[in-house]
Amino acid sequence: MKAIANFDFSPQSPDIQETPCNILIVDDEERIREAYRHLLAGEGRIIEECGSGNEALRRLDHRDIDVLILDLMLPDINGLEIMEWMLHQHVPTAVVVFSGDESIDSAIRALRHGAFEFIRKHGDPQELIDTVDRVLRRRRVEREHALMTVRLEQSERLHRFLVEQSPDIIYTLDKDGAFIFVNGRVQALLGYTREELLGKHYSMIVYPDDLEHARFAFNERRIGDRASTNVEIRLQTKNQGVRHFENRTIVAILSAQGIYATNEEPASRHFMGTSGVARDITDRKKAEETIAFQAFHDLLTGLPNRILFKDRLGVALKQAKRKNKRVGVMFIDIDRFKLVNDTYGHHEGDELLKCFAQRSRSCLRSGDTLARQGGDEFTVLLPDLGDGEDASVIAAKMLAELRQPFKIAGVDFFTTVSIGIALYPDNGKTPEMLLRNADIAMYQIKGRGKNGYLHYAPEMHSGQSMRLTLEGDLRQALESGDQFELYYQPQISFSQRRTIGMEALIRWHHPRHGLMMPDTFIPLAEDTGMIVALGEWVVDRALCQLASWRSRGFTSLQLAINLSPKELERGDLPERILQRLDAYAIPAAALDIEITENLLMNDAEKNISMVKQLRNCGLRVSIDDFGTRYSSLNYLRRFPIHSIKIDQSFVRDLNPDKHSSTSIIHAIACIARSFDLRILAEGVETEAQRQMLSGLACDEMQGFLFSRPLAAEAFEGFLTGGCFPALDREQIL
């Protein structure tokens, strides 16, 4: 918006009332000058004198004299010559001629030379006073008028500038819907020049399928709150055969209102047309679609992902219950898949997964669902089964089909699979139960030498008792508190080469099992409600550590902690956190709460209000693992979050040859920008990933490339000795 600096729209133009008026008296007789100066003196008037014509010319040349009181008879130059010179030079001064020569002739000549008034020298002094008053009044009106004109011009220039520079199409239609104005933006977005559109009906730029929908917005007669806002329609570009315009439609969001003649009474106002603004949201739309698709699908195979699978399974179970039918769930794992990856590389591994997906799909009925759970694990949903044998038939068919080799890197590759089967209602009544039991059956068949299928049986279940022991251990660990430790992983800004903060990650030093990672005990803590006590320990420990670092000069570090959705269910969470912050004298803005996307989906209203409360306390809130669940963008709109963390899985897939992951990160960056959110990429392991992220304008990162999570002491070493120091420490030293 630099160009705006050219516009003078500040209220600095001096107010007319306050500008003093300059009066110049020109007469060779000092006595007369003196007398007139007395007569004309007044507030806001500056009176000057000249005794000769030449002197007067020099003074007038400054062009700041409002009124000139001019004697025609001067010793050097004749007063009329002065006036001629003024006309010639366009000096904008009003002239009052006064003269001892009372002949009508000189009066006429003076007036012809542009004098405002002719006054006789020995007449009534009041006449001079009145005349000067009159001149000054007129000058003031003239000046006001000039100033107004300048202001109007400036304001019009400013508006024209804003309209032309606008990223949106701004237009006006007449009452029949033809363009009477459209800004230059239309050419960049749709390829039409302004001239091509003026006089044409708006339907020329509307995508035919959207015409009906567009009619209301383009024919908008209402104004104010009732007028159309945010109507989404597709506009079509002009077909120019130019590559840029190959994509023939853009998605625009349109706001319009009616225009009425302003000089009439409201009741009888005359409708003149419609004006509106259309914003191009094509990129955002595409990003939304990509995100929505990938939220429910596996990008590699195009199959439904585990979320969509679970959803369909839930629906199938409800129907089966009503119809008294069986539902089959299969868990499939490709045997020796790791071998393909290790021998031929990831690219070939991906190819195998794609071919496998295609072939397995062909063995199923149209109502069945094949989904990818992740890695080399797939699941199948078989609704409407008569009995368990139907599932066996399908499993056998799959095994037979897979006997044909796959072509991998030009050679035949034989693969087999292990399939576990669980049936509703026999082996479980909930989606979770059925998946778990099919998984257990699959592991049994793997244990028995792979390549086959097996139905779940209750004897397979032995994990339960181990879980109970671990639960007891966790309870005890929480009581003693000394088995947990927080590790800290640096979060860096690559462009600044600086550590901006860290994420606290919990570890459990189990007395028998040794070091345990959070994935092995957090779900258990969540299931049993112990997560609340664990979370309290984390908040307290992490803030205590932060306080210690802050006292040693690292005052700009941002501490991120993970909160599980269970912890957010507690209404007093903000209070508890604030109380801890207070105790350690840490400003709320130094704490970043990481929550997962699921939270945005479940019980949204309650969670929105919780997130709002946290934000109102001054805390930052980030969405963790962004992109792995379906965060409806509407939720993003409503949650006042501060930043999003791009999930590791997208970063891991970053590869110059693979488009999908790049485009997802691009989409996420796009969305983040449009919601004004910060982004941070997680799980950055290689320089190549780092470079691609920097190229996608994602500057804040976290991952093994910079550092693994470190114990407190080692983390401090990183802050002072690593290649990404925390700056303020240096400033202090």
- The amino acid present at 570, given as its one-letter code, is R
d(CA 517, CA 527): 17
Closest to ligand C2E by CB, 257 or 702: 702
- 77: helix, coil or strand? coil
703 binds, among ligand C2E, Ca ion, none (CB under 5 to 8 A by kind): ligand C2E
Closest to Ca ion by CB, 256 or 651: 651
Cβ-in-10-Å burial (0-12, 13-18, 19+) of 239 comes to exposed
Touching Ca ion, residues 169-188 (CB under 5 A) = none
Touching ligand C2E, residues 671-690 (CB under 6 A) = 682-685
Size of the site for ligand C2E (CB under 6 A): 22
List b or e across 272-283, with b for residues whose CB sees 16 or more CB atoms inside 10 angstroms: bbbbbbbbbbeb
The piece of 292-300, 365-373, 560-568, 650-658 that touches Ca ion (CB under 5 A) is: 560-568
CB of 607 to Ca ion, least distance (A): 17
CB of 253 to ligand C2E, least distance (A): 34
183 binds ligand C2E (CB under 6 A): no
Closest to Ca ion by CB, 163 or 307: 307
685 binds, among Ca ion, ligand C2E, none (CB under 5 to 8 A by kind): ligand C2E
CB of 203 to ligand C2E, least distance (A): 51
Residue (of 148, 186, 139, 108) closest to 44 by Cα position: 139
CB of 619 to Ca ion, least distance (A): 15
| DSSP code per residue over 125-144 | HHHHHHHHHHHHHHHHHHHH
Touching Ca ion, residues 581-610 (CB under 5 A) = 594
- Contact map string, positions 551 to 590, toward ligand C2E, x by CB under 6 A: -----------xxx--------------------------
DSSP 8-state secondary structure symbol assigned to residue 93: -
CB of 703 to ligand C2E, least distance (A): 3
CB of 401 to ligand C2E, least distance (A): 35
CB of 529 to Ca ion, least distance (A): 21
d(CA 60, CA 85): 10
d(CA 196, CA 188): 14
621 binds ligand C2E (CB under 6 A): no
∠ CA 699-641-504, nearest 5°, is 65
d(CA 53, CA 27): 8
CB of 576 to ligand C2E, least distance (A): 15
Residue 157: both structure tokens together: 């220039």
Asked if omega into 425 is within 30° of 0 (cis), the reply is yes
- The amino acid present at 444, given as its one-letter code, is Q
DSSP 8-state secondary structure symbol assigned to residue 590: G
Member of 704, 711, 717, 731 binding ligand C2E (CB under 6 A) = 704
d(CA 134, CA 21): 13
| HSE, side-chain direction, 13 A CA sphere, residue 626 | 28
Largest CA distance in the chain: 134
Residue (of 642, 626, 710) closest to 676 by Cα position: 642
Closest to ligand C2E by CB, 351 or 594: 594
Closest to ligand C2E by CB, 506 or 692: 506
703 binds ligand C2E (CB under 6 A): yes
Member of 66, 624, 653, 700 binding Ca ion (CB under 5 A) = 624
Closest to Ca ion by CB, 368 or 682: 682
Cβ neighbours of residue 361 under 8 Å, at least 6 residues apart? 303, 370
Is the separation of the CB atoms in 342 and 348 below 8 Å?
A: no
The piece of 131-139, 207-215, 330-338, 622-630 that touches Ca ion (CB under 5 A) is: 622-630
Touching ligand C2E, residues 468-527 (CB under 6 A) = 489, 505-506, 517-519, 522
| HSE, side-chain direction, 13 A CA sphere, residue 83 | 27
Q: From its phi and psi, is residue 114 left (phi > 0), alpha (psi between -120 and 50) or beta?
A: left
- The amino acid present at 5, given as its one-letter code, is A
- The amino acid present at 604, given as its one-letter code, is A
CB of 526 to ligand C2E, least distance (A): 8
Name beta bridge partners: 424.
Answer: 327
Cβ of 148: how many Cβ atoms within 10 Å?
Answer: 11
Cβ-in-10-Å burial (0-12, 13-18, 19+) of 407 comes to exposed
d(CA 631, CA 643): 14
CB of 431 to ligand C2E, least distance (A): 22
558 binds, among ligand C2E, Ca ion, none (CB under 5 to 8 A by kind): none
DSSP 8-state secondary structure symbol assigned to residue 541: H
Residue (of 667, 668, 648) closest to 374 by Cα position: 648
| HSE, side-chain direction, 13 A CA sphere, residue 729 | 19
538 binds ligand C2E (CB under 6 A): yes
Member of 709, 715, 716, 724 binding ligand C2E (CB under 6 A) = 709
- Contact map string, positions 510 to 549, toward Ca ion, x by CB under 5 A: ----------------------------------------
Residue (of 38, 106, 105) closest to 71 by Cα position: 106
627 binds, among Ca ion, ligand C2E, none (CB under 5 to 8 A by kind): none
Closest to ligand C2E by CB, 145 or 513: 513
Closest to Ca ion by CB, 328 or 683: 683
Closest to Ca ion by CB, 71 or 624: 624
CB of 666 to ligand C2E, least distance (A): 21
First-residue to last-residue Cα distance in the chain: 40
Is the separation of the CB atoms in 99 and 71 below 8 Å?
A: yes
Cβ of 376: how many Cβ atoms within 10 Å?
Answer: 21
Name beta bridge partners: 277.
Answer: 170, 255
CB of 316 to ligand C2E, least distance (A): 30
Closest to ligand C2E by CB, 557 or 680: 680
The piece of 48-56, 426-434, 657-665, 701-709 that touches ligand C2E (CB under 6 A) is: 701-709
The piece of 159-167, 377-385, 619-627, 718-726 that touches Ca ion (CB under 5 A) is: 619-627
Touching ligand C2E, residues 626-655 (CB under 6 A) = 648
CB of 729 to ligand C2E, least distance (A): 23
- The amino acid present at 463, given as its one-letter code, is G
Member of 624, 653, 700, 716 binding ligand C2E (CB under 6 A) = 624
Dihedrals φ, ψ of 91, to 5°? -80, 125
The piece of 94-102, 239-247, 459-467, 676-684 that touches Ca ion (CB under 5 A) is: 676-684
Closest to ligand C2E by CB, 83 or 651: 651
519 binds, among ligand C2E, Ca ion, none (CB under 5 to 8 A by kind): ligand C2E
Is the separation of the CB atoms in 505 and 545 below 8 Å?
A: no
489 binds, among Ca ion, ligand C2E, none (CB under 5 to 8 A by kind): ligand C2E
625 binds Ca ion (CB under 5 A): yes
Touching ligand C2E, residues 51-90 (CB under 6 A) = none
Enumerate binding residues for ligand C2E (CB under 6 A).
Answer: 489, 505-506, 517-519, 522, 538, 562-564, 624-625, 648, 682-685, 702-704, 709
- Write out the residues near Ca ion by the rule CB under 5 A: 562, 594, 624-625, 682
